[in-house]
Structure 1
Amino acid sequence: MWFSDILDRHCRQRGHAPAVVEGERGLTWLELRGAAHSVAARLSERGVRHGDRVAVYSRNRLEVVVSYFALAHLGAPFVPVNHAMSPAEFADAAERMDIRHVMGERRPVERLGPAEERTTVFDSVEFQETLVAGQAPPPSTAALEDPLAVLLTSGTTGRPKGVLQTAGALRQMTLSWLAQARADDTVRLLNLNSLAHGGVTVTFHYLAAGATLHLMREFQPRAVLRQITEQGVTHVWMVPQMLRFLMMAVGENARVPNRLREIMLGAAPIDQELLRGAREAFGCGFRNIYGMTEAGGTFCTWLSDSSLEETASVPLESSGRAVPGVRVEIHDEENRPLPDGEVGEVCVLAPGRMSHYVGDAAETGRTLVDGWVRTGDLGWMDGNGYVHLKDRKKDVIKRGGQNVFPAEVENAVAGFDGVADAAVIGVPDEVWGEVPLVFVVVREGAAFSPDALLTFLHGRLASYKLPREVRTVSGIPRNAAGKILRRVLAEQCGGAR
């Protein structure tokens, strides 16, 4: 099976090279394969069988990567779970996804209270001994058409859905990405995004290329900067809000010594002022990644690198254009393609798309139409194939018949001095139906005035896009992928959406 092929190939070609690094701990490719085989043997002894869905409930740590490879060997689909998920949320997801076994860190696993024989705890002496036991696994019966993983969607508008992806689908998306990004075994990838999110597919792409994967259990900006400076990191994978915190730690006009080739950003639009500052601080290329779990992962990208002449004309406000092997179009409500420049729904035809949502045939039918994945994102395509997003279809604010896209307002707000973070939702209005409401996190020590912000927005936004009110908050609720949880903000407003 494909995951086993990855391990076998790199063990033969560069077995003693580092595969996964976490702090002072690390595994070479030979050690990673040995650990995965031993864990597969142990799970088999504990009754995990081909087809059993197994939750992996943990922060980012090397045991998570070992577990994914072990489960893939057994043909037992892994179900990555955000370590912050509450026991009640987990119980709901576990029932809907038919979870048979739980692996993870002691504290979150023990909060669940499952039977001991149905759990495997990373922190236990037994598991740590298993990692180096050198046990032979049972023969693998996994095939490319078998389910590899059930990836939970972000759940920004409700309960997360389970996206079933096969090993063959992920292999196709990996080949597309590697043809685009030209990654190889010289890459040292610092992965700051959660291994429990659908964006983990990006991590798999680089592991398939033989990259060394660096992990951190917690995002701490100064520790991240030390990793970049001291560990020879060549690529970083994170969300824009992490970059914003990183730049606050860097400070104004500072330069960070590094060997970076690319900083990869996904899950949210990149603020252009932030991008300019980061380019000055790190002096490397920046890559935008636009993807969706249901579409199999990344399907659009752009790379901005001053050392590459062909990137000079890249429209940085766009989400990029399709990677090789994937087709992206803008469709109307009847799934018909629209001409360049017209706003519609971004639709994706990809060989690596999901098979279906687990236990939800109706939602599967709404998302997969004639083979196309309807993303729920509104946008338009320019004459060079670049996709320009407007907003999530469900998030559009309808003010007196005019569409207001929250992301557009948020980008304008982000340009005001003193704003560290911002989010926009629609609130009911007797006259207009809905109007925008802005939530702002003020940068520490900054002088901030809501009235001054509203004045700043006049002339930068059309009158119908102007927010009715600005509220300051201590933080913007986001999921593990960095996406704004607008429903949480809406609940704080007493039912506004």
Structure 2
Amino acid sequence: MSETVLDMFRRNVTDAPDSPMLAYFDGVLTVGDVDRVSNALAVALTDGGFTRGDRLALYLQNVPQYVIALIAAWKLGGIAVAINPMLTPREIDKLIADSTPTTFLALSELYSDDLATTLDRSSVTRVITTSAVDFQHANDARVLPAERLSTPVGTDDLTDLVDHFDGQTPEVLMVTPDDVAVITYTSGTTGVPKGAMNTHHNVATGGSAYRDWFGLGADDVILGVAPLFHVTGLSGHIAVAIAARASLVLSYRFDIGVTLDMIRAYAPTFTVGAITVFIALANSADVTNDALSSLATIASGGAPIPAATVERFETRFGVYVHNVYGMTETTSPVLSVPMGTRAPVGAETEALSVGVPVLSAEVRVVDETGAALPAGQLGELAVRGPQIVPGYWRNEIETSAAIKGGWLLTGDVGYVDDDGWYYLVDRKKDMIVVSGYKVWPREVEDVLYTHDAILEAGVVGIPDPYRGETVKAYVSLRDGFTVEPHELVDFCRARMAAYKYPREVEIVDVIPKTATGKILRRSLRDGVSR
């Protein structure tokens, strides 16, 4: 594929400028609107000295400005740096030191004195701020600020810049498929952030994969529940919306009530997000059984999906949740459940399959030497294809450790069955060793999810003077259910080998997770409080 997502966007501008592209509360931007506003922002960036190859850091929630700035940077041959809006200035400092952006775009609601101090001593020479209340008029108090804040001192306001340069267009630059489009950060083996270099070729492949795998087109509406800074938001929301010429519905951040309003207003037909989003919807008394009726297709990635959760969701709403497996380094999907089929459950692990290879992706299971393993044998998943990043930003050591001979070593342990379905068992680093026996947290969690009282579960290994490690489970309960820890221990004991079942169960209010729904096992190992 030689086409980039920017090429696709430019074609949409030519063919369908009046087609709706972004919906944000009561505001709607057409393809032509996004082109015009991103042109103005691109000229403003150029006026500030931004040139080809420069980095533009994006510290934003799910707002139209994210997509606009992304396209503006691409029009200039620039690179976007995706930053989690939940990060603190101390954490941001590490990412800025690594990616050395010249321009930093932040929500004014997130801008602080500490952040200003961090940026003052960094590579950043210009800060642009923008408000979450722009590009809409509803001012929904559930997630949005009550009023527009004044522009922070020392920053330029995005709206003012767009108004000043409105109608101007930047010099037309061509980006190549191999140019880096976005630096997306993932955690490193040493705890140091690694910046995956998602190229224009990678992003185009990811968006096209979602489009073709799920059969999306110009009549579809995508519900944006995944964070845009995450690779799922990049490929499964932004890139696929451009590739399919579908519209994308944004609502700042996930909130059950707001999401229901957006569904009623725009009747989305497709979404992909963390399973925690769908668990929250299924367990909310405010959500009627027909509330999601417009969503013909739902996919979930970012965290394993227990079979029991998928069954409960389908029973409630009549929609099957399709598993999707991918990573930051794979620019999202490499495995998924095909349309019209249902993921089988592993005979030995009882884990739901994460699917079969998506289109151009190649997947195999390898041993410690990198040799391919036959069906049924446990090993590390390795992936090859046009969606794989060329490496990590300015980090040859981590690049060479992760990518060998064109194959990305994922760090995920699993197996493939005789029919070509892949099963994810767990992360290599999360394995628990009990008296010499291997226990995978996923397997214990899947058993816990079959209990009617369990909302979410997280399993870790804790020190044990006799066994070396033993299994501990943290669980949160569904509304209206009560259960004692010893009952859950007995429940698992009846269904698992003696070395596998949890010796301890702790009931907590919330299982700690990342913004994308992955369980924070490190927090569980450190202990969580009610």
With the length of structure 2 as denominator, give the TM-score of the two structures: 0.87
Q: Which residue in the other structure is 2:148 paired with?
A: none
The answer to whether the aligner puts 1:112 opposite 2:147 as a matched pair is: no
Map 1:232-311 to 2 at 5 A. Answer: 232-250=267-285, 254-256=289-291, 258-303=293-338, 308=340, 311=341
Shift of 1:142: 2.7
Give the letter for the 1:221 counterpart.
I
Task: State which of 78, 81, 101 in structure 1 corresponds to 2:80.
Answer: 78
Structure 1 match to 2:457: 422
Once the two structures are superposed, residues 195-239 of structure 1 have per-residue CA deviations (whole angstroms, 9 ceiling, x without a partner) of 011222222123211110001112111322232233211012221
Question: Would you say 1:326 and 2:361 are equivalent positions?
Answer: yes
Shift of 1:265: 0.7
- Equivalent residue, structure 2, for 1:167: 200
Report the residue type matching 2:437 in the other structure: Q
Cα distance in 1 between the residues matched to 2:106 and 2:524: 30
Give 1:96's aligned residue.
Answer: 98
Matches within 5 A, 1:10-409: 10-110=12-112, 111-113=114-116, 114-115=119-120, 117-123=125-131, 124=151, 126-131=157-162, 133-153=166-186, 158-199=191-232, 200-203=234-237, 204-250=239-285, 254-256=289-291, 258-303=293-338, 308=340, 311=341, 314-315=344-345, 317-409=352-444
| Aligned-partner Cα distance in 1 for 2:68–2:242 | 12
CA contact (8 A) 1:207 1:213 kept: no
Which piece of structure 1 moves more, 279-288 or 261-270? Answer: 279-288
CA distance in 2, matches of 1:148, 1:468: 47
Give yes or no for contact 1:476–1:484 (8 Å, CA) kept in 2: yes
C-alpha change, 1:157 and 1:484, in structure 2 (3 Å) is farther
Partner deviation per Cα, 1:49-74 (whole Å, 9 max, x = no partner): 11111210011101001011111111
Q: Distance in 1 between matches of 2:416 and 2:295?
A: 31
Q: Which moved more, 1:312-321 or 1:295-304?
A: 312-321
Q: Look up the match of 1:485.
A: 520
How far apart in 1 are the matches of 2:255 and 2:528? 31
Q: Which residue of 1 aligns with 2:137?
A: none
Instruction: Tell me which amino acid in the other structure corresponds to 1:258.
Output: S
Identity level (%) = 28
- List gaps (5 residues or longer) in structure 1: none
Aligned equivalents of 1:253, 1:28: Cα separation in 2:
31
Which residue type is aligned with residue 83 of structure 2? V
Does the CA-based 8 Å contact 2:205-2:386 persist in structure 1?
Answer: yes
1:432 to 467, 470, 480: 467
Distance 1:463 1:251 in 2: 41
Which deviates more from structure 2 when the two are superposed, residues 131-140 or residues 378-387? 131-140
**Alpha-carbon distance in structure 2 between the residues aligned to 1:88 and 1:313:** 42
Q: Assess if the C-alpha contact under 8 Å between 2:12 and 2:31 holds in 1.
A: yes
Q: CA deviation at 1:170?
A: 2.2
Are the counterparts in 1 of residues 20 and 31 from structure 2 also a CA contact under 8 Å?
yes
Distance 1:156 1:213 in 2: 35
Secondary structure of 1:273's aligned partner:
helix
C-alpha distance in structure 2 between counterparts of 1:140 and 1:109, whole Å: 32
Runs of at least 5 residues in structure 2 that lack an aligned partner in the other structure:
132-150, 346-350
CA distance in 2, matches of 1:440, 1:282: 24
Normalised by the length of structure 1, the TM-score is 0.93
- SS in structure 1 of the partner of residue 293 of structure 2: coil
The number of residues matched between the two structures is 489
Rounded Cα–Cα distance in structure 1 between residues aligned with 2:442 and 2:343? 23
**Contact in 1 for aligned 2:56/2:103 (Cα 8 Å):** yes
Q: Which moved more, 1:66-75 or 1:417-426?
A: 417-426
